[in-house]
């Protein structure tokens, strides 16, 4: 789970605030140079780590390599045409779409449930919280490898299923179950992460609202729909978008466990980019795919900013 996209959570109010410009005493002028020196390293990194690769990816997507030694030549839209004419990429987009439509609502609903529970007081709350957050902190590769062993046909999950009379399942070896298995694995990591933000959102709802609801005689369920959920809107909007973005770039379980299979059933877009570029060796086709991916991500971010803008 990348963490850079998390920022969105909270930019809505912050972005509009211009600090320190209101009551500026005359003595504090001429700070441009100081500010620039403080920000310069971050700006250089931004340029190197975001601007250059994005431009490089876009340029490369309009090129082709004739031989490994010759510099690439222009190919116009050929890479994009190849991408969309070949049914494989549409299939990749379809699978990625299904994956997101399944994983995001599942993670968010469970995370709301867990956040509500963890927001209550009970004995051992600290330990339960630690249990739920620990999968977030361990590397995704650890979760992947462990679940990969657990999902084996002769693994512990099937052992438990069979001990209660349910037949063993093929999990990652079956085209119909592999994607669901990956969703379970990634939710084990993701739910704890989104819970963290939802707990913060819950604690942010002013107590007076609940006092007012109590005076009106509202029960828990009524209170949840009329006070909690509406006031959690901002946090929820962020969590849904951030979850969508991080699910779009899901890579580790596919790369380690299924390599897109069986029968292409787990061919998510990020793995397909990797596969086209490094396994099949077509850098330019991979770049066209990266460009499509960036376009999707930028669109999601823009929609999010409009949503958040409307709320103010």
Q: Restricting to residues 260-299, which ones interact with other proteins according to CB under 8 A?
A: 270, 273-274, 277-278, 283, 286-287, 290, 293-294, 297-298
Residue 259 tokens, joined: 């390599």
- What are the tokens at 173? 């070896």
Q: What is the smallest separation between the CB atom of 149 and other proteins, expressed in angstroms? A: 7
For other proteins, the closer CB: 87 or 219: 219
DSSP 8-state assignment for residue 22: S
Site string for other proteins, 144-183 (x = CB under 8 A): xxxxxxx---xxx-xxx-xx--------------------
The residues in 49-68 that bind other proteins, with binding defined as CB under 8 A, are: 49-54, 56-57, 60
For 226, the 3-state DSSP assignment is: helix
Of 34 and 66, the one with the shorter C-beta distance to other proteins is 34
Q: Which of residues 214-253 bind other proteins (CB under 8 A)?
A: 214, 218-220, 222-224, 227-228, 235, 245-246, 249, 251-252
Widest CA span in the chain: 79
Among 114, 172, 180, 268, binds other proteins (CB under 8 A): 114
Q: 73: part of which helix (H) or strand (E)?
A: strand 73-74
Cis before residue 262, ω within 30 degrees of 0? Answer: yes
For residues 93-112, which are near other proteins according to CB under 8 A? none
User: Shortest CA distance to 277 belongs to which of 55, 60, 59?
Assistant: 60
Q: Which of 189, 183, 153, 144 is nearest to 171 (CA)?
A: 153
Q: How far is the CB of 262 from other proteins (least distance, A)?
A: 17
Please, are residues 184 and 190 in contact by the beta-carbon 8 Å criterion? no
In the complex, least distance from residue 292 CB atom to other proteins, rounded to whole angstroms: 11
Residue choice 116, 237, 240, 307 for contact with other proteins (CB under 8 A)? 116
Question: CB–CB of 72/295 below 8 Å?
Answer: no
Answer yes or no: are the C-beta atoms of 302 and 245 closer than 8 Å.
no
**Min dist. Cβ of residue 92 to other proteins (A):** 15
Cβ atoms 121, 265 nearer than 8 A: no
CB of 264 to other proteins, least distance (A): 20
Q: How far is the CB of 248 from other proteins (least distance, A)?
A: 8
């Amino acid at each position: 789970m990348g963490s850079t996209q998390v920022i969105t959570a909270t930019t809505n109010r912050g972005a509009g605030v211009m600090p320190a410009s209101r009551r500026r005493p005359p003595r504090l002028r001429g700070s441009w140079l100081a500010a620039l020196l403080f920000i310069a390293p971050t700006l250089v990194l931004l340029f190197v780590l975001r601007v250059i690769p994005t431009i490089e990816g876009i340029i490369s997507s309009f090129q082709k390599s004739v031989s490994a030694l010759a510099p690439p030549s222009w190919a116009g839209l050929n890479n994009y045409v190849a991408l969309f004419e070949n049914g494989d990429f549409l299939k990749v987009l379809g699978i990625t779409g299904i994956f997101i439509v399944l994983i995001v609502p599942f993670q968010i609903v469970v995370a709301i449930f867990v956040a509500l529970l963890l927001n209550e007081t009970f004995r051992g709350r600290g330990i339960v919280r630690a249990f739920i957050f620990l999968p977030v902190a361990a590397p995704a590769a650890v979760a992947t490898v462990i679940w990969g062993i657990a999902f084996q046909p002769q693994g512990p999950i099937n052992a438990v299923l069979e001990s209660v009379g349910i037949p063993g399942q093929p999990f990652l070896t079956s085209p119909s179950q592999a994607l669901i298995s990956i969703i379970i694995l990634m939710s084990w990591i993701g739910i704890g992460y989104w819970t963290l933000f939802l707990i913060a959102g819950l604690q942010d709802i002013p107590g007076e609202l609940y006092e007012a609801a109590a005076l009106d005689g509202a029960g828990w369920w009524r209170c949840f729909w009329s006070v909690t959920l509406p006031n959690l809107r901002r946090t929820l909007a962020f969590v849904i978008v951030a979850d969508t973005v991080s699910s779009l770039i899901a890579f580790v379980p596919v790369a380690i466990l299924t390599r897109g299979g069986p029968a292409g059933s787990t061919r998510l877009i990020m793995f397909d980019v990797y596969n086209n570029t490094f396994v099949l060796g077509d850098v330019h086709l991979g770049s066209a795919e990266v460009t499509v991916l960036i376009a999707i991500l930028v669109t999601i971010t823009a929609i999010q900013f409009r949503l958040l803008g409307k709320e103010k």
